[in-house]
Structure 1
Amino acid sequence: MPKPTKGPRLGGGPAHERLMLANLAQSLFEHGAIRTTETRAKRLRPVAERLITKAKRGDLHARRQVMAVLSRKDVVHTLFADIAPSMAERHGGYTRITKIGPRKGDNAPMAVIELVTEPVSPKQATVQEAEAATKRAVKEDAAAAAATTEAEDAAAEETEESAESAASPEAAAESAESAESAESAEDTKDTTESEDDAK
C-alpha cells in the first residue's frame, strides 16, 4: 500500500505537490536563489539536490530523468552545462536555506533557498583528507593488532610445545634412573641371598 511521505503536504494532492516542487526547482536553477516559505524550501531541498546529483553524472539517461521533472529545456541545459560542473568537487549540500522574517499579511515564516556556488575551500578538502587518513589509520591499527595477537598466540603455542618436549626427555631420564635403581636393588638383594645360602 503506498504511503505518503512524512511532513507537510504541499498543494491539494500528490500530483499538485510534484508540479509545485518541479516549478520551484526550475526557478531555483534559473535564478540561483528564490524566496519562499520555510516549508516549501525544506521540501524543495532534497528534490533540487537529487536533480543536481543526476546532472553531475552527465550522461543521456540522467538528462532524460531530469527532463521528466523539469519541463524547460533551457533550464535543463543550464543545470547540466553550468551548475553541475561548478558542483563537481562538492559531495552533497548543494543548497543553502536562510531564514528571513515572516511575511506581511499571513505572518508565514519565510526563507531564501539558494545554490551554494562557492568553490570547496582548501580547508574543507584538508578536513576530508584528514578524515579519510584517520579511517585508514584505524583500519591499519586494527589489522596490526590482529597480526600481533596471532603472532602472540603462535609464540605461546610454540613455548608450550617446547616445554612439553623438554619435559618428555626429563621424564624419560627419571624413568631410566628409577629402572637402574630398581635393577641395582635387585642385584644387591640377589647377592645378599647368595651369601646367606653360602653360610
Structure 2
Amino acid sequence: MPKPTKGPRLGGGPAHERLLLANLAAALFTHKSIKTTETKAKRLRPVAERLITFAKRGDLHARRKVLGIIGDKAVVHELFTQIAPLVAEREGGYTRITKLGYRKGDNAPMAQIELVLEPVAPKVKSSKSTAAPKAAPAAPVEEAPVEEAPAEETAAEDTTTETAAAEAEVVEEATGDAEAAGETTAEADAEKA
C-alpha cells in the first residue's frame, strides 16, 4: 500500500491535491502574494520553493519539469524570467507565511503566503579568532614633539588643579563628619541596649 505524503490532505485524493497545489503555485507566481488557509499555505511552501529552485537553474530540463507541474506557459515564463533573477542570491526561504486571523464564515485560520523578493543582505562574520589577529599588527605610532605652553596657560591649569584639590578635601571632610556621626549613633544605640 502506498504511504501518503506527510501533512493534511487537501481535497478528495492525491491527484486533486496535486492540481490544487499547482494552481496555488501558479497564483502565487502570478500575483506574488495570495491569501489562503494556513494549511494550504503550509503545504504550498515546499512545492513553490522547489519550483523556484528549478527556475534558478534555468536550463531546458528544469523548465520542462516546472511545465509538467504548472502547465501554464505564461506563468512558467514569468517564473523563469522575472522571479528567478530576483532570488538568485538567496539560498532558500523564497516564501513568507503571515498569519491573518480567522475567516468570518467558517472560522478557518487564514494566512498570506508571499514571495520574498527583497535583496539579500550579506551576513557579517564576527568570530573572536578572526578579529584578534587583525587587531594585533598595529602600525607604530610616531611621537610628536612636545611643545611647551606659554606661562599664562600653565598658570590657569595650576589654579584649576588647586580648586579641584580643595573641592576633594571638602568632600572628604563631609564624608568624615557623616562617618563620625554614624559612629556616634551606633555607640548610642549600643549604650541603650
| Structure 2 equivalent of residue 161 of structure 1 | none
| Greater helix content | 1
1:2 CA displacement: 2.3
| Structure 2 equivalent of residue 109 of structure 1 | 109
Deviations 1:43-101 (A, max 9, x none): 00000000000000000000000000011111000000000010000000000000001
| Structure 2 equivalent of residue 77 of structure 1 | 77
| TM-score w.r.t. length of structure 2 | 0.64
Q: In structure 2, what residue type is equivalent to 1:126?
A: K
| Structure 2 equivalent of residue 25 of structure 1 | 25
Deviations 1:133-179 (A, max 9, x none): 89xx8xxxxxxxxxxxxxxxxxxxxxxxxxxxxxxxxxxxxxxxxxx
| Counterpart Cα distance in 2 of 1:2 and 1:78 | 35
SS at 1:23's partner residue? helix
1:120 CA displacement: 0.4
| Structure 1 equivalent of residue 123 of structure 2 | 126
Aligned length: 130
SS at 2:70's partner residue? coil
The structure that has the greater radius of gyration is 1
Q: How does 1:82-161 map to 2 (within 5 A)?
A: 82-121=82-121, 125-127=122-124, 130=125
Unaligned stretches of 5+ residues in structure 1: 138-199
| Structure 1 equivalent of residue 178 of structure 2 | none
1:7 CA displacement: 1.5
| Counterpart Cα distance in 2 of 1:93 and 1:69 | 20
1:10 CA displacement: 0.4
Query: Percent of aligned pairs with the same residue?
Result: 73
